[in-house]
Amino acid sequence: MIHSKLPNTGTTIFSIMTQLANEHKAINLSQGFPEFQAFPELGRLVKQYIDAGFNQYAPMHGVKELREQICSKIQKHYKKAYNPDTEIVITSGATQALYTAITAFIHKGDEVIIFEPAYDSYVPVIELNGGIPVFIKLNAPNFSVNWTEVRAAITEKTKMIIVNNPHNPTGVVFSKEDLSILSKIVSNTDIIIISDEVYEHITFDGIQHISASSIPELAERTIVITSFGKTFHTTGWKVGYCVAPEELIKEIKKVHQYLVFSVNTPVQYALAEFLKDESSFLGLSTFYEEKRNYFAKLIGETRFKLIQNQGTFFQLVDISTITDEDDYSFAIRMTKEYGVASIPLSVFYSQKEKMSLIRFCFAKHNETLERGVERLIKL
């Protein structure tokens, strides 16, 4: 008899929908991965480092050149100086960084505030560590944070608040005011913040991403996590990192060293070199804004109703103009019968209520989006 540590957890929706899309030869606008080739120069650099023999274990917290390059990028763009020797760990994607950071600090009975809809890898990790997720719903229709509710949710057991900015799945980007209120709420507490910023380089309509690292009162208690998967079209390479003050990184390293020890060596060297050319990430917002606009124009020909977004490569749409079904059944049926896969919003909530929003990933070639929408028009 197996005594499950995660009795309420099933297979992640991203595996379920991608598998269903493959089975039904559907156009896969569900799981968030870019359809584009990795930047060719980056691929060339990886090969160069493999051929040059950089194939053994990297240092536990990451290759020095990459740690230094990331810290100077953060210093330049977010005006925060992290020590590349003591305040950064290179991780196997953001997923491992999240697991490691939550595990390093959450004890049995600790409360962790998270915002719903919530990316699906936070809750299981909190629960594996005996923590208690405390959910606060973002306010529909614009998914803003009710900070009064956040303040009221804090107890003496609150150990951590996890924010995701820009936000998956809604595409909401925190304003300076949001972050300033958050910093006031946590001042004079020992609350640690995790700021999941994997979409830091994808914001639209002139909206700037404000990293938690750029606000000194937040940076002193925040673990900023991000991933090169989103930035360089390389979600399959699984390289990311976390930066935080030294006392937090010290604890994170204790877990990291026994979870993976270290991360892919030639890719780290290649990223260190590739990051010197800023155009690769500075052009990303424009690239995806054009995609977002093109997809929105196409969706305009369907009966779906668009929900405004400010960043990420996800687009929420309202299905209530088309069906009375709940979002989950509809997303499954749409994949099977119409050949387009999406993600139902309800999976990002702890209480499974009937919802009428689904998420599309538009990080795809225009032809793919066109073929997808051609099918959606029939709905």
Residues 154 and 134: beta-carbon distance below 8 Å: no
Q: Is 309 in the site for ligand GLN (CB under 6 A)?
A: no
Pick the piece of the chain touching ligand PMP (CB under 6 A) from 51-59, 90-98, 172-180, 369-377.
Answer: 90-98
Half-sphere exposure of 70 (CA within 13 A, CB side): 32
Please state, in angstroms and rounded to a whole number, the distance separating the CA atoms of residues 347 and 310: 21
Going 91 to 93 to 96 to 102, the CA torsion angle's sign is positive
Q: Is 229 in the site for ligand PMP (CB under 6 A)?
A: yes
| C-beta nearest to ligand GLN: residue | 32
Q: Is 327 in the site for ligand PMP (CB under 6 A)?
A: no
Pick the piece of the chain touching ligand PMP (CB under 6 A) from 15-23, 89-97, 138-146, 154-162.
Answer: 89-97
CB atoms under 10 Å from CB of 322, counted, come to 17
Pick the piece of the chain touching ligand PMP (CB under 6 A) from 82-90, 93-101, 211-219, 300-308.
Answer: 93-101
Q: Is 14 in the site for ligand GLN (CB under 6 A)?
A: yes
Q: Provide the b/e sequence for 64-84 (b: ≥16 CB within 10 Å).
A: eebbebbbeebeebbebebeb
Q: Is 32 in the site for ligand GLN (CB under 6 A)?
A: yes
Q: Is 170 in the site for ligand PMP (CB under 6 A)?
A: no
Q: What's the closest the beta carbon of residue 5 comes to ligand PMP, in angstroms?
A: 21
Name which of 94 and 112 has its Cβ closer to ligand PMP: 94
Binding at 31: pick from ligand GLN, ligand PMP, none (beta carbon under 5-8 Å per type): ligand GLN
Q: Is 94 in the site for ligand PMP (CB under 6 A)?
A: yes
The strand pairing partners of 307, in sequence order, are: none
Please state, in angstroms and rounded to a whole number, the distance separating the CA atoms of residues 243 and 329: 40
Which listed residue (93, 131, 171, 311) binds ligand PMP by CB under 6 A?
A: 93
Residues 145 and 173: beta-carbon distance below 8 Å: no
Name which of 260 and 322 has its Cβ closer to ligand PMP: 260
Which listed residue (119, 204, 232, 288) binds ligand PMP by CB under 6 A?
A: 119
Tokens of 221: 């208690």
User: Distance of alpha carbon 245 from its chain centroid, rounded?
Assistant: 21
Q: What's the closest the beta carbon of residue 161 comes to ligand PMP, in angstroms?
A: 15
Residues 154 and 191: beta-carbon distance below 8 Å: yes
Residues 83 and 248: beta-carbon distance below 8 Å: no
> Collapsing DSSP states into helix, strand and coil, what is residue 199?
coil
Residues that bind ligand GLN (CB under 6 A): 12, 14, 31-32, 168
Residues that bind ligand PMP (CB under 6 A): 32, 93-95, 119, 164, 168, 196, 198, 227, 229, 235, 240
